Amino acid sequence: MLLEALGWLIFLAALIVSVMLHETGHFVTAKRFGMKATQYFFGFGPTLWSIKRGETEYGFKALPAGGFVKIIGMTSLEEVDPEDEPRAFRRAPAWQRLIVLAAGSFMHFLFAAVLIFAVGLGIGVENVQSSNTAQIGAVTPCVPSNEQTLLNGTNSTAGEAESPAALAGLRVGDQVTSFDGVAVSNWTQLQNAILKVKPGRLIAFTVLRDGQPLTLHTTLAEVKGHGSFFGISPVAVTTFQRLSPLASVQSVGTGFSEVVTGSAKAVAQLPGAVPSLFAQDRVCSAAANVGSVVGAAQATGDAVAAGEAWQAKVSYVLLLIASLNIFWGVLNLLPLLPMDGGHIAVVLWERIRAWFARLRGRPDPGLFDYRKLIPVSFSVFAVVVFFSLLLIAADIVNPVNLG
């Protein structure tokens, strides 16, 4: 429990750092261009503590659900003192406003790149080899839909059944001593015994758990093209090979590509995953692939508490934090208000509109009227809040446990 709590604290610290790096990107670039920033806060709601330095108030608020930098004159709707109007965000050239808006996501990407590079250079990539013992290293929660899914280790999809090993109550660390009446002492013997049993037949097997023999029962499943499927993996022997600086840079590109692709798939699955978020078989549905910050914190706690080498723990936690920062950076760039990408889209539209006006010999129409976008902004905000709260609730009452 102590190590798991430590994992939660590590994730919370990383979350705070990520949020404030995002806001620092906005803050530093705004100040660099002479814009007036009056507040720099972590959290929302009532102020817990603050201090004023120059024209900016720094502090913490009661609800740790993000952070913000208050730059005056962000939209055409905001009232600004006439004496401060020249330093308002809306009066800056378009290229400066675009840099300030994109700086938050840039800091997420920079943070993620540093973490991935550090893992490659300082820890390296995992080289996993299976030990030839009959001890269980992992229990697969679901039955893969086909042999390719099994070999690739692809995440669960809707409709997959719970694996025979999971149904039998097998646990990581159990030592299998016999399978369907055949004595086994190593992984090769156990695999051969499994493949000899026809799918659909009820079998008994014996394990040593905490030094005590225990007999369990289950019915083997079938994976097309593979044969009988039980749902176990051996204890792994893991080594780490450090990468060269060049290879570490290449790993950054690979990491970004994988996270962006995986995030797009997860977001696409979200609407269809909603019905399974609170289902008993969530782990074997598309809902296993979506989660909230609570789920990420739980995964961090589980990783820190796991009986793995320190390299595996540090690598997992750092890469998880990097992945979340890439996701948040991309999410913030979507052209939807109130996210940064929505404001970027407005600035670009203002310049396109001004260009067309110039072609027709007309004056610049000026700032866009944000009142036209209030219904859209509210709708997007409501959808984001709804799904965020739904995922948090699901991760609290029905967490995904991959074993």
3-class secondary structure, 243:
coil
- Is the distance from CB of 328 to CB of 18 less than 8 angstroms? yes
Cα distance between residue 148 and residue 162, in whole Å: 18
Q: Which residues have a Cβ under 8 Å from the Cβ of 307 and sit 6 or more positions away?
A: none
Q: Which residues have a Cβ under 8 Å from the Cβ of 397 and sit 6 or more positions away?
A: 278
- Is the distance from CB of 111 to CB of 252 less than 8 angstroms? no
Give the residue among 297, 239, 295 at the shortest CA–CA distance from 14: 297
Cα distance between residue 312 and residue 305, in whole Å: 12
Question: Which residue in this structure is represented by tokens 């009446």?
Answer: 181
Cα distance between residue 23 and residue 26, in whole Å: 5
Cα distance between residue 216 and residue 208, in whole Å: 11
Q: Which residues are catalytic?
A: 23
Amino acid at 253: G
Q: How far apart are the first and last CA of the chain?
A: 17
Cα distance between residue 256 and residue 251, in whole Å: 9
Peptide bond into 338 cis (omega under 30): yes
3-class secondary structure, 215:
strand
Q: At what angle do helices 310-332 and 293-305 cross, to 10 degrees?
A: 170
- Measured torsion, CA atoms of residues 101, 103, 108, 113, in degrees rounded to the nearest 10: 140
Amino acid at 88: A
Based on DSSP, count helices (H) and strands (E) in the chain, helices before strands. 10, 12
Q: Report angle CA 349, 354, 355 to the nearest 5 degrees.
A: 100
Tally of CB atoms within 10 A around 395: 21
Tokens found for residue 180: 């369907």
